[in-house]
């Protein structure tokens, strides 16, 4: 490691001088360095106090200081009780939970007559609620993009067990998108017995934003649509007045860091009515009898919230939304776009001394239909990927926090590297927990894992530049 680095500006083809570690890219509209720094100083001062460049927003967002203060005040001054009771404390919790549900609907522009919000432990919990209750059966279908988080891939186990057919839509390289004709063909094949189409609004691997127009094509052809908004919602407006998937899954900590342990399934009431829950629990039923062994499910969201909801933490979701509103989702989007541009340009400009690229980015190299998640490998002079553990540890030592691995998105990861089913079978044959060295012996030059950097509401340009500097250190 170490050595001088040439920086090629991908636009101008110019090279800046040695040691010039700050790329000079023009700011995109919406970038106001003073306002960004003021927000950082006011709400996220702990980042600078710790000297950290946090670049894992797709892993988890960061909470603002004011969110904590507001929630702390509520808990400190309030008496909140289990909402299944009717006393004063209980009614207060019920009211706060109802207000938070309404705040969620407002945030997404969702009409309460059409939509409802179910609080879940996380996005995975929301996805599982749909998977376990969806009426899959012989003749039915589950259609998935190969680009999906494992918590969506896992739905295929419910579908398979019920005898439904599972189909994946494969990705094209290098952009890691699905061809428009491939989607249309798959959606217009009659979905005998019904079908569920599940895709992410934004990839947690490549940052690709898949077309929300797919929702309408799917509906026109009789499909139900499950939209995974976990990676999209933190820095993009999801307007459920305009887009009407049947189910939307997300985790709140990805939007605003706190609280963890709560997500939501935002569902169209009519679609929810078609789900058949596989069991019942306290809180989710109106009546249950033991002598007669019958039960009646509660209506709408109540029938999907098992046991006692996290009534102390749920109000903090509303406070998180208040914080996002105070900044503005369009402002966050514009800032994330600018920082993504800076990161992509910074990485693309890195070269070894002989001019060979230092970095390969998986997915879109530019800003077209993509969000603020950038996955890449660092290449040595022979073009071989440097072990990601090494890169992560080096970055970490310099206070730059990124994520490494395949990010629970095996489909995008395999497509990015051209990993075949045969190679995966050989890796499985190695037994449980093969080492990176063993996997590389099977995969040859195809790296088994990558580095992921993602930007968010508290990111400043300097955070991005620090990562580029760390990677620049690998030039040889």
Ligand X SMILES: Cc1ncc(COP(=O)(O)O)c(C=O)c1O
413 interacts with ligand X by CB under 6 A = no
Contact 102, 315 (CB under 8 A): no
- Rule CB under 6 A: which of 53-82 touch ligand X? 58
251 interacts with ligand X by CB under 6 A = yes
340 interacts with ligand X by CB under 6 A = no
Task: Pick between residue 94 and residue 340 the one whose CB is nearest to ligand X.
Answer: 340
Please give the size of the binding site for ligand X, defined by CB under 6 A.
Answer: 13
CB of 21 to ligand X, least distance (A): 31
151 interacts with ligand X by CB under 6 A = yes
Q: Find all residues with CB under 8 Å of 438, minimum gap 6, and list them.
A: 427, 430
Q: Which stretch binds ligand X (CB under 6 A): 29-37, 120-128, 319-327, 413-421?
A: 120-128
Task: Pick between residue 58 and residue 459 the one whose CB is nearest to ligand X.
Answer: 58
CB of 220 to ligand X, least distance (A): 25
Binding mask 199-228 for ligand X (x = CB under 6 A): -x---x-----------------------x
Task: Pick between residue 149 and residue 335 the one whose CB is nearest to ligand X.
Answer: 149
147 interacts with ligand X by CB under 6 A = no
Q: Which stretch binds ligand X (CB under 6 A): 122-130, 305-313, 388-396, 467-475?
A: 122-130
Task: Pick between residue 116 and residue 148 the one whose CB is nearest to ligand X.
Answer: 148
CB of 15 to ligand X, least distance (A): 37
CB of 252 to ligand X, least distance (A): 9
CB of 254 to ligand X, least distance (A): 7
Task: Pick between residue 31 and residue 107 the one whose CB is nearest to ligand X.
Answer: 107
Task: Pick between residue 199 and residue 311 the one whose CB is nearest to ligand X.
Answer: 199
452 interacts with ligand X by CB under 6 A = no
Binding test (CB under 6 A) with ligand X, winner from 101, 128, 141, 149? 149
CB of 200 to ligand X, least distance (A): 5
Residues found near ligand X in the complex (CB under 6 A): 58, 122-124, 149, 151, 200, 204, 228, 230-231, 251, 263
């Amino acid at each position: 490691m170490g050595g001088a680095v040439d920086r090629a500006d991908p636009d101008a083809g110019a090279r800046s001088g040695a040691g010039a570690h700050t790329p000079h890219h023009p700011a995109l509209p919406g970038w106001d360095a003073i306002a960004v720094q003021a927000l950082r100083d006011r709400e996220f001062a702990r980042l600078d106090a710790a000297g950290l460049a946090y670049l894992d927003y797709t892993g988890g967002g960061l909470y603002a200081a004011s969110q904590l203060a507001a929630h702390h005040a509520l808990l400190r001054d309030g008496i909140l009780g289990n909402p299944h009771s009717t006393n004063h404390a209980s009614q207060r919790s019920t009211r706060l939970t109802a207000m938070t549900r309404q705040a969620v609907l407002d945030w997404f522009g969702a009409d309460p007559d059409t939509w409802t919000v179910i609080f879940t432990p996380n996005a995975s919990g929301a996805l599982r609620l749909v998977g376990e209750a969806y009426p899959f059966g012989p003749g039915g279908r589950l259609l998935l993009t190969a680009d999906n988080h494992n918590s969506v891939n896992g739905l295929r186990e419910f579908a398979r067990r019920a005898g439904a057919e599972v189909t994946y839509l494969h990705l094209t390289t290098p952009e890691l998108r699905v061809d428009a004709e491939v989607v249309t063909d798959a959606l217009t094949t009659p979905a005998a017995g019904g079908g569920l189409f599940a895709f992410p609004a934004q990839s947690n691997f490549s940052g690709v934003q898949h077309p929300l127009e797919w929702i309408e094509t799917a509906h026109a052809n009789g499909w139900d649509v499950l939209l995974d908004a976990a990676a999209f919602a933190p820095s993009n407006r999801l307007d459920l007045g305009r887009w009407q998937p049947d189910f939307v899954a997300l985790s709140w900590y990805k939007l605003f860091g706190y609280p963890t342990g709560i997500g939501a399934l935002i569902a169209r009431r009519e679609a929810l009515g078609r789900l058949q829950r596989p069991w019942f629990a306290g809180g989710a039923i109106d009546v249950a009898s033991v002598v007669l062994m019958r039960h009646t499910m509660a209506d709408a969201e109540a029938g999907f919230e098992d046991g006692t909801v996290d009534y102390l933490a749920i109000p903090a979701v509303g406070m998180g939304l208040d914080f996002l509103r105070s900044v503005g989702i369009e402002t966050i989007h514009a800032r994330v776009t600018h920082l993504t541009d800076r990161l992509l340009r910074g990485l693309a400009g890195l070269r070894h001394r002989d001019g060979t690229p230092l970095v390969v980015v998986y997915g879109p190299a530019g800003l077209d239909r993509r969000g603020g998640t950038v996955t890449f490998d660092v290449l040595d002079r022979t073009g071989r990927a440097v072990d990601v553990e090494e890169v992560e540890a080096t970055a970490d030592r310099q206070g730059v926090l990124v994520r490494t691995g395949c990010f629970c998105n095996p489909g995008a990861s395999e497509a990015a590297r051209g990993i075949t089913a045969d190679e995966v079978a050989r890796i499985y044959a190695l037994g449980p927990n093969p080492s990176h060295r063993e996997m590389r012996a099977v995969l040859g030059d195809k790296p088994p894992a990558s580095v992921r950097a993602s930007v968010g509401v508290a990111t400043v340009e300097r955070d991005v530049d620090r990562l580029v500097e760390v990677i620049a250190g690998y030039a040889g």
